[in-house]
């Protein structure tokens, strides 16, 4: 093993409290959308790309308007996350510090462009990672983005750490082992390794 590629939501942090403030602020300003989103709404859509999240949360909103609504929500959430951050899982910085001394670290998340940058900016953890990728920047699936990171950084034996079935399928698509973060948002039946806290990565690797 030469590297570890991480998912972000449900693996390194939980950003829902901050994101909810941003999204509901946008929704309140729209006279055609009479709803608020909740933490459970976001839990159900974790690991999905933004357009799919929009179809689930706003099924009755016309596509063109939904795209504009999602853009506004995502833009504001990144601004809020830069200023407020999210909730890091316990000992994330310590674990990343330890792992980065032995392995190259990366992030591949199904988020919009600017989201990972907001995570870096507020929590000052970007120094531990060599590279990152997301569909907001590439338009690719998570599995394709994992392969892109592997090719771009000439990785020969990475593992992927994530918390959803989509993460497991992405790792399988990229042909690499999957570490299931059982403390996150998803339920996964097939995995190569399972951890119940991020601290266990130090023991595993």
pLDDT in tens, 118-157: 999 999 999 999 999 999 999 999 999 999 999 999 999 9
- Mean pLDDT along residues 5-34: 93
Percent of the chain with pLDDT over 90: 86
Q: Cβ neighbours of residue 141 under 8 Å, at least 6 residues apart?
A: 135, 170, 173
Q: Does domain 3-14+86-204 have CATH number 3.60.15.10?
A: no
Per-residue pLDDT band for 22 (boundaries 50, 70, 90) equals very high
Q: Which residues of the chain form CATH 1.10.150?
A: 16-84
Element (H, E) at 63: helix 63-84
Q: Cβ neighbours of residue 168 under 8 Å, at least 6 residues apart?
A: 162, 178, 180, 188, 190, 191
Compute the distance between CA of residue 27 and CA of residue 48 in angstroms, rounded to an integer. 20
- Mean pLDDT along residues 159-172: 97
Per-residue pLDDT band for 76 (boundaries 50, 70, 90) equals very high
CB 17 within 8 A of CB 87: yes
- Mean pLDDT along residues 49-66: 90
Name the E strands within 131-172: 131-133, 158-162
Give how far the C-alpha of residue 200 lies from the chain's centroid of Cα atoms, to the nearest Å.
20
pTM of the predicted model over 0.85: yes
Per-residue pLDDT band for 34 (boundaries 50, 70, 90) equals confident
CB 90 within 8 A of CB 197: yes
- Mean pLDDT along residues 56-82: 93
Q: Which residues of the chain form CATH 3.40.50.1000?
A: 3-14+86-204
Class of domain 16-84: mainly alpha
Q: Cβ neighbours of residue 184 under 8 Å, at least 6 residues apart?
A: 7, 9, 10, 11, 46, 162, 163, 164
Compute the distance between CA of residue 142 and CA of residue 126 in angstroms, rounded to an integer. 20
């Amino acid at each position: 093993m030469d590297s570890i590629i991480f998912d972000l939501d449900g693996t390194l942090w939980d950003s829902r409290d901050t994101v909810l403030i941003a999204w509901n602020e946008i929704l309140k300003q729209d006279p055609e959308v009479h709803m608020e989103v909740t933490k459970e709404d976001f839990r159900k859509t974790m690991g999905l790309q933004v357009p799919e999240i929009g179809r689930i949360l706003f099924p009755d909103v016309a596509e063109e308007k939904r795209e504009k609504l999602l853009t506004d929500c995502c833009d504001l959430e990144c601004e809020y996350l830069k200023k407020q951050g999210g909730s890091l899982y316990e000992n994330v910085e310590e674990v990343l510090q330890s792992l980065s001394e032995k392995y190259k670290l990366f992030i591949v998340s199904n988020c919009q462009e600017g989201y990972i940058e907001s995570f870096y900016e507020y929590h000052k953890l970007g120094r531990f990672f060599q590279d990152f990728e997301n569909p907001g920047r590439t338009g690719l699936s998570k599995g394709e983005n994992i392969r892109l990171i592997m090719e771009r950084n000439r990785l020969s034996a990475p593992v992927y750490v994530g918390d959803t079935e989509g993460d497991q399928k992405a790792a399988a698509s990229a042909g690499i082992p999957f570490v299931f973060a059982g403390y996150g948002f998803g339920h996964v039946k097939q995995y190569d390794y399972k951890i119940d806290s991020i601290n266990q990565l130090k023991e595993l690797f």
